[in-house]
Structure 1
Amino acid sequence: MPPLDSMQELDDKSIENIVRFVTDVRTGKLKGSNKIASASVDLLEQIIIEASNTNALSLINAVRGAGRRLINALPQELVVANMVRRVMRAIRDEQRALINQSSECSGESLQRLVLAAPSRRATLPSHQDMREPIRDHIAELQAELEASTSSICGQAKEHIHADELILTYGASSLVEKFLKACGTKRFKLLLVESPEVNESAAMAARLSAYGINVTLVNGCAVGALMSRVNKVVVGGRATLAGGAVLGEGGLLTITTVAAHFTVPVIVLSPLYKLSPLHSSDHSHFEALAPPYTALPYMTGESGTTQVFAPVYDFVPPDHVTLFITNLSGSSPSYIYRLLSELYDPNDYQI
């Protein structure tokens, strides 16, 4: 992790843009992981375009400085930190490409460049304006974000077959589109209510209007129904290092019952939701919902009971059978490999 005194101070306009972005997320003007991720990339691109110094080190420091401000303001929005890491990886890749090009032009071996002093290696591409090639990387990242939903939904028919009984939990736009991509008469669906009961009922109504056979059930019935279920298909807030899943509160109960009955659990996880954090990093996940979501105020116990309603649940890797990403299906043990392809190890801690 770089020392704090190496961070480049952001200008007033960049700070103003960060404040506007944080306000939009907190007020609900900007909703959905995909939209937040796309807006994060746009914000970082703007910071890079307006940077006064255009060498790799300065741009990485500017992006890291913006990332720290965003993470401090939005610790639960892990996709923001993920996009910061992706942009920093793009800068590092472009820097390596310039170093290789410089070594070929000068006739100096790559081994000597690698063994050279860090200060010398850092100044090799300093005369190059790196903003345009980095913008090309960012354009590819935006295209990936736009295509992530269709890429996952395109795999639906490979995993859900005719006459199967599928169980899902709560309302998820990605799961809804995934199920619709399977067709209308291929399967039956059990939709378990989450704490957001109205959203779960609204999703069930939309799927039913689409022609899918949906039954909305209470969470208390999961234990009795799971033995008949063929697959559990859910979304997640984030996929963590090691293959754990950060999901909506109550998801752990679903996956625990599924593990007891040996029912496969499929998690839909676009690449922008893959985070190098571990489940032990509690500072990012300690969020509590209003107490009334767990115990209504009008009940007799509400006046004498202290209620804690966690927003998130940790699902351990051994509860997950398969992750469906933009690329293909991946087992929980393969997540570490995907993380190494997406992020630079130096950027795991921003």
Structure 2
Amino acid sequence: MGPKSTAPPGLTSFLNILNKNENKHDTNAYIELFISLLSRRQIRNSRSVAIATAELLLRVISVYKWQDLNQLIAHIKEVGNRLMAAQPREMAVGNIVRRVLGLIREEYEGDSKAGNISVYSDSGLDSITGRKRGESTSVLFSNLQPVLDGGEAGLLKPQVTRTTFAHQGGQFTSMFSLLSHPGSPEQNGTSTPPPTSHSSVPPTPTQSITTTATTITTEKSPPGPPGPTRDMKPGIIEGLQEILDELLTVDDQIASYSLDHIHSNEIILTHGSSLTVQKFLLKAASKRTFTVIVAEGFPNDHEATHARVMGFDPTNPIDDDDILDEVPQEQFQKTLAQAGISVILIPDAAVYAIMSRVNKVILGTHAVLANGGLLAVAGARTIAKAARDHSTPVVVVSGVYKLSPMYPYDWEALVEIGDPGKVVSWEALGEIGEGVGEKVVSVLNPIFDYVPAELVDLYVTNLGGHAPSFLYRVVGDHYRHEDINLGV
């Protein structure tokens, strides 16, 4: 029987269950609970999903016992694939899983370079590099190729290149080591004939190995049992705690850049109820005087938008995880109007008419893709197009945890469709159906819009400002290439 909680289903109840000591070793029950919450959309919005995913993986890693790193990586991939299958459009799940996999690899590589750890599989090969125990080889870095199939859990396997030159008349010296051989034949006035053939004889333990990329002198130690190992689990858990700390402080870090982008007497247009945008504006309002025009985001986000602008009523809670789970009621931010900002609330239909007076558009986002495009609340694409027609800059504020390494080859599949009853009531829909035929009426209510990269001028993340064309570099810094494809 799975874990239970008396709190309403959501992020708060899930974290309460994780923090309890009962059934702490039954991680599969927590995974199934999170899958249920995701599939029913009881945990939604990027930050709530990211926090829940990080907390779940923290519990999984703290309980799971592994023999080598391949086994741990395969297990994390398996859990990640189950979570992503429950809600494929919540890209924050895959983002956190990839960052945890990169954290595991970095922890191993750091300890391996320091000589503090030696992790081997049952085959006698190093579980990450594939080398034999006690063997040191030269690696041709230009030949490193990622393996994305499921055979070895997507690990990097270096292609080892050994090249030796032998001649019967003397020893061949590489050009790269001329200055390090004062007694070489060239300096003594003698010459050595060039080699006439390549030999495949393996090098001696002290022989210089020459490759097309670099020259490395290595020594082969005799095979034997691995050295003392260090438990990697504390280091991985510490790294996961840093990711959780980042998720809790990301909005404040983004808000610290607000004074660089918002100036006095500007008119700012925003859309929806993004908490990141609200903190961004409140931080700028501490030293700037400006006007904010808010498009309400009907029909999916207008209630939460009104709460952001006019205040949050705890007696009439809004069905929005971003409010109920991420922001405790006693610490809820004061409204824009209370901060001294002139706020104008407009319907979505008035966006194009008022755009000519707007100095800047600031948008929140649900997910950012590797090509610079983004998913935001429905209506964001219309605003971005209107801003492009009026040459108004569009600034998107987003945490790095929302940045996905995936490309929108089929962006329509990324757009989630919501309840059509919010657009047309079921009673009115029934009356329309009776008049024209029940199977004729089709009502679509998209929850998100895809905004292409060419409609965005700047991204402001917790790492600073980036052009959309630069996001691929941020992706490369946060995700390992071998973890892009999470297939086990």
TM-score range, shorter chain: 0.7 to 0.9
| Deviation per residue, 1:45-77 (Å, 9 max, x gap) | 211121121521111111101000000112122
Q: Match of 1:108, SS?
A: coil
Query: CA separation in 2, counterparts of 1:94 and 1:110?
Result: 22
Find 2:374's aligned residue among 237, 242, 245: 245
Q: Does 1:167 align with 2:269?
A: yes
Number of residue-to-residue matches in the alignment: 335
For normalisation by structure 1, the TM-score amounts to 0.87
Q: Match of 1:329, SS?
A: strand
Check 1:65–1:181 CA distance in 2 against 1; reply closer, same or farther (3 A cut): same
Structure 2 match to 1:111: 139
Q: Match of 1:295, SS?
A: coil
Letter paired with 2:457: T
Find 2:242's aligned residue among 140, 147, 151: 140
- Structure with bigger gyration radius: 2
For normalisation by structure 2, the TM-score amounts to 0.63
Check 1:344–1:75 CA distance in 2 against 1; reply closer, same or farther (3 A cut): same
Q: Does 1:176 align with 2:312?
A: no
Find 1:258's aligned residue among 361, 372, 387: 387
Check 1:282–1:124 CA distance in 2 against 1; reply closer, same or farther (3 A cut): farther
Letter paired with 1:268: V
Gaps of 5+ in 1: 1-10, 118-122
Superposition RMSD in Å: 2.9
Structure 1 match to 2:122: none
Query: CA separation in 1, counterparts of 2:272 and 2:297?
Result: 5
Identity percentage of aligned residues = 31
**8 Å Cα contact 1:102-1:124 kept in structure 2:** no
Find 1:130's aligned residue among 215, 220, 232: 232
Shift of 1:332: 0.1
Letter paired with 2:249: A
Check 1:297–1:55 CA distance in 2 against 1; reply closer, same or farther (3 A cut): same
Query: CA separation in 2, counterparts of 1:87 and 1:173?
Result: 25
**8 Å Cα contact 1:163-1:186 kept in structure 2:** yes
Structure 2 match to 1:36: 49
Query: CA separation in 2, counterparts of 1:125 and 1:288?
Result: 56
Find 1:202's aligned residue among 307, 317, 342: 307
Check 1:259–1:54 CA distance in 2 against 1; reply closer, same or farther (3 A cut): farther
Shift of 1:92: 1.2
Q: Does 1:309 align with 2:412?
A: no
Letter paired with 2:393: P
Structure 2 match to 1:120: none
Q: Match of 2:336, SS?
A: helix
- 1:1-350 equivalence runs, <5 A: 13-25=26-38, 30=43, 32-102=45-115, 108=136, 111=139, 114-115=158-159, 128-183=230-285, 186-195=289-298, 196-205=301-310, 206-281=335-410, 285-297=414-426, 299=428, 302-303=432-433, 304=436, 305-350=441-486
**8 Å Cα contact 1:56-1:125 kept in structure 2:** no
Q: Match of 1:314, SS?
A: strand
Q: Match of 1:111, SS?
A: coil
